[in-house]
Structure formats: C-alpha cells, structure tokens
Amino acid sequence: MLLDAGAALVCTPPVCAVLRRRSGAARKARERGLLHEIIGGMTVGHGISVRPFSVPHDADGGCSGFCIDDDSAPRARRAVVATDLGYPREGLHAEFSDADVMVMESNHDVDMLEHSGRPRFLIERIRKIGHLSNDQSSRFLAEVLQRSSRHPSHIVLAHLSTQCNTPRLALEAAGSALGQIGASGVALSTAPPHDSGRALHI
C-alpha cells in the first residue's frame, strides 16, 4: 500500500541489506528509488532531524532506536523512541537523556512470561537478549531521569506483550520507580498494540 502511494522507506544500511535479500516489495521500492539508507541522520521538513542509534536487540540486520529533534520552535524539543531494546546496556542512557517525550519498551511481566506456556528457549531469549521486562524498563527510566538535566513531559510505555503483560502492571512498575526518585509531573501512558495512540503536545 505504501509502495503504491509512492512513500519512501528509510532504514539503516544493514536493515536495507536484509530487506533487499528477503523482501520482493523492498526490491521493488529500490527499483523505484523509494528505498533509502539513513547514515548518521536525516532532516525531515524544516528544523526536524532524525538520528538512529543502535540497540542490542538480536534482530537480523540489527535494530535501532531514534532521536527526533525539532529545532524550529523557540525551545528545541526532543522525542526518543525505542521499542526493541533487548537489554539495558551501558551507553543507552545518554541517548534518552533530556528528552521531552520518551517512547520506551516495557514488554513483559516476569511472572506472566515465566508461566506463559512458551518454550523455555523462547522465554530465555526474551529475558536475556530480546525485550525489557517492566522492572528492567522502570529501572532504566529512573536511571535516565537521574542523569538528565530535566524530566520529560511524557513517557509512553510501548511494545507491551498482549500475552505476558498488561497496561496496569507496566504503569504500576514505572510509576513506582519514578516516584522513588521524585519524578513528579511526568505523564505516564501506554501505547495501544494495534492502533495509533493519542497525540501528545509538548
């Protein structure tokens, strides 16, 4: 559908390589000049820049989060989006620091995952290199805010497992962690799994 509309697909060079190898639609997009590699970053419109950063998820071709900066307003705004974080490695905190909006993975509740009936190898993969649990996400968020010069206005918890998590559990974990560091005034919400969420104004 996007290809028919002439929409461009932009991704990192390793992901582009995987798509060209595996996807007929991506090859058609390339032939039509609609498949582009993002190297370092790109500008979208007036004053808006997008920069990918690597996250340690184990997807073929690698996985990226994105810093989106808007310098067009009197005060610069930043949104950071990362929904396949794998595990909270050192160095990721700097990518999230001083964001106005953070869209952050909070994938599963540990107990629900453990009793999900999924194969043991899959449970271990998710726990170790796949996705952040509510507790991992919450600790990471608290550490980011402690290292930031200002707190975000909004934190959106995303990529919640429909089988191994609930919005209530994710919000409770994040709210508790932020409360312990005195991060009041931050609006917490969860992203719906199959629809667009509400617009955020910053």
Owning domain of residue 28: 1-39
Query: Which CATH number fits the domain that encloses residue 145?
Result: 3.60.15.10
Q: Average pLDDT of 95-115? A: 94
66-93 CB burial, b ≥16 within 10 A, e <16: bbbbbeeeeeebbbbbbbbbbbbeeebb
62-101 confidence digits (pLDDT tens): 888 999 999 877 778 999 999 888 777 778 889 999 999 9
24-38 confidence digits (pLDDT tens): 888 888 888 888 888
Please check whether residue 18 lies inside any domain of the structure. yes
Please check whether residue 201 lies inside any domain of the structure. no
Please check whether residue 47 lies inside any domain of the structure. yes
**Quick one: 33 and 49 in the same domain?**
no
Please check whether residue 200 lies inside any domain of the structure. no
**Quick one: 28 and 72 in the same domain?**
no
d(CA 202, CA 200): 7
Say if CB 119 and CB 130 are below 8 A apart. no
**Quick one: 86 and 156 in the same domain?**
yes
Q: What are the two backbone dihedrals, phi and then psi, of residue 52, each rounded to the nearest 5 degrees?
A: -80, 150
Please check whether residue 195 lies inside any domain of the structure. no
Please check whether residue 50 lies inside any domain of the structure. yes
Range scoring the smallest mean pLDDT among 101-115, 131-145, 182-196: 182-196
Range scoring the smallest mean pLDDT among 87-91, 121-125, 185-189: 87-91
Q: How many domains does the chain have?
A: 2
Say if CB 42 and CB 49 are below 8 A apart. yes
Range scoring the smallest mean pLDDT among 4-8, 91-95, 109-113, 143-147: 4-8
**Quick one: 5 and 56 in the same domain?**
no
